[in-house]
Amino acid sequence: MAAAPKLDHPSLPLVKERFADVKFMATEFRGQTTLVVPAEKLHDVARFLRDDPRCQYNFLSDVTAVDYLDYPAPQPGRFAVIWNLVSHANDRRLRLKVFMNPTIDTTGIDADPALIVDSVTDLWPGAEWMEREVYDMYGIRFRNHPDLRRILTWKDFPAHPLRKDYPLRGRGEREHYQKLARDSA
Amino acid sequence: MGLESALPVDSVLSTQLNRVVNWARRSSVWPMPFATACCGIELMATACSRFDLARFGAEVMRFSPRQSDLLIVAGRVSVKTLPVLQRIYMQMVEPKWVISMGACASTGGVFDTYAVVQGVDQFIPVDIYVPGCPPRPEMLIEGIMAIQRIIDADNIPRDPEGKRLPLNIAVAPNYEPRPMPVPVTVGAS
């Protein structure tokens, strides 16, 4: 039996006090506290955590995502987007997490109306490329992102390769390319 | 120049000229380094003083494909980089040669994923395959010397219509790995 999470992170009561009507979840693992936020409240919570003088999370360390397909433990949703916040003033870290469930087939690249969350590029400009990577790899879109294009794979790549239902060797992307002969130049 | 009048009727001048041209070509095989990974470090070592590619006239690394004769693909090529490689290949002028250096360039190596080309010979013609992970500089030199021998003997393989065929030569390892200096035991206290 795992030890009960120690939810003594000093920022959690502040968030709870400020957003009294929102239902949060919080977990802790080896001293790392994660706050699970409803997708529609993410931007407000992030702005509060950055601007409140008791929180001062002035640095966004990372934006990443997880695909929980076939995960052994049950999770609130298939995809999770994670924001790693750092407060240099308080020497403190906090993770925000938003779960979401796809509504259409995840093997394609069509825009899923459920896989969208507010961008935080207006709060931390460094989020721009990290959100582009999450979009590229998982197909999760970011509302109000200034330039939401693929960043690692190329423009016409027909999948989101870090989704768990994408095969490791791809669906033939690496084989179907123009072949050059010696006299084609 | 009056030289022709001194020659016999069945002149040997043209064949001799061929030999001079081939000698010049094989003595100045200027490489275009397409170094994308750790094989590029061995490529640099090959050009440095210990192995000294200048002995073979191939030390002039040209970062413009229009000035180079030999494309050395050193390292794994991702599918996103492949158009760049193909464009560099197309910009080189004949006679041009391609060395696929190392396991990744030749076969994809351990990177069997959606984003890595499983052998550049699927997409461009390759003349010499140099195996190894990465190959030792001696083996790369062996590959360049193989090209030099082909140029020298003037036997570039062509199909019946006169188009050039890839050489498809794989270099055999030319060194024996030495035994380990100390016995390796795992898990012993």
Cβ contact B80–A178 (<8 Å) = no
ipTM summary value = 0.74
pLDDT tens per residue across all 185 residues of chain A:
567 778 888 888 898 888 888 888 899 888 899 999 999 889 999 999 999 888 889 999 999 999 998 899 888 889 999 999 999 998 999 999 999 998 888 888 888 888 999 999 999 999 999 999 999 999 999 999 998 899 988 888 888 999 998 888 888 777 777 777 776 65
Neighbouring-strand partners of residue B68: none
Quick one: pLDDT at residue B20? Answer: 84
CATH class of B15-170: alpha beta
Rounded CA gap, A127 and A129, in Å? 6
- Which domains, and CATH codes, for chain A? 11-184 (3.30.460.80)
Cβ contact B116–A174 (<8 Å) = yes
Quick one: pLDDT at residue A122? Answer: 92
Of B114, B116, B125, which has the smallest distance from its Cβ to A181's Cβ? Answer: B125
What end-to-end distance do the CA atoms of chain B give, in Å?
Answer: 83
Asked whether A185 and B94 are in contact (CB, 8 A), the reply is no
Name the token pair of A54.
Answer: 């008791």
Domain ranges of chain B: 15-170
Whether the ω angle into residue B95 lies within 30 degrees of 0, i.e. cis, is yes
C-alpha dihedral sign at A13, A15, A21, A26: negative
- In the DSSP assignment, the letter for residue B149 is H
CA distance A152 to chain B (A): 9
Quick one: pLDDT at residue B1? Answer: 46
* A122-134 exposure pattern, b = at least 16 Cβ within 10 A, e = fewer: ebbeebbebbbbb
**B159 → chain A, closest CA residue:** A182
Residues of B in contact with A180 (CB under 8 A): 86, 89-90, 123-125
The residue ranges of chain B whose pLDDT is under 70 are 1-15, 184, 188-189
Among B66, B78, B79, the residue to mutate for chain A (most A Cβ within 10 A): B79
